[in-house]
């Protein structure tokens, strides 16, 4: 099973999104968190279907769009480690997180 590690900015993005949704509709923030955790479980097991990210040339950078929320989990896959780079909102500037790849 692979290890998943969040970049601090990605963890902050997730916390902010969960808080915003929870303020809008109680329980919705929890639903977002559960969906992200489900995606990460698939990444840990290596069973998730991931997509290439058009904003970068690095093939290890992948994304998984959430089904219920307008976000993608942007991550790098390196052997047994998955590094979550961003919890990227689909309406935000594309590739805003690319400086985190260093």
- In a structure prediction context, what are the per-residue pLDDT tens digits for the chain, which is 102 residues long? 999 999 999 999 999 999 999 999 999 999 999 999 999 999 999 898 898 887 787 778 999 999 999 999 999 988 899 999 999 999 988 889 999 987
Domain around 74: 3-90
Number of domains in the chain: 1
Of 53, 65, 61, nearest to 78 by C-alpha is 61
Q: Would you say residue 64 lies in a domain?
A: yes
CATH number, domain containing residue 26: 3.30.2310.20
Tokens of 39: 């995606």
Q: Would you say residue 99 lies in a domain?
A: no
**Do the beta carbons of residue 52 and residue 75 sit within 8 Å?**
no
Q: Would you say residue 65 lies in a domain?
A: yes
Entry pTM: 0.91
Of 79, 81, 67, 8, nearest to 36 by C-alpha is 67
Q: Would you say residue 9 lies in a domain?
A: yes
**Do the beta carbons of residue 74 and residue 97 sit within 8 Å?**
yes
Q: Would you say residue 63 lies in a domain?
A: yes
């Amino acid at each position: 099973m692979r290890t998943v590690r969040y970049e601090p900015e990605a963890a902050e993005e997730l916390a902010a999104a969960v808080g915003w949704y929870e303020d809008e509709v109680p329980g919705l923030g929890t639903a977002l968190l559960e969906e992200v955790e489900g995606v990460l479980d698939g990444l840990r097991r290596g069973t998730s279907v991931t997509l290439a990210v058009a904003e970068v040339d690095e093939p290890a950078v992948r994304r998984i769009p959430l089904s219920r929320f307008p976000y993608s989990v942007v991550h790098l896959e390196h052997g047994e480690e998955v590094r979550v780079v961003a919890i990227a909102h689909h309406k935000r500037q594309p590739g805003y997180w690319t400086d985190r790849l260093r």
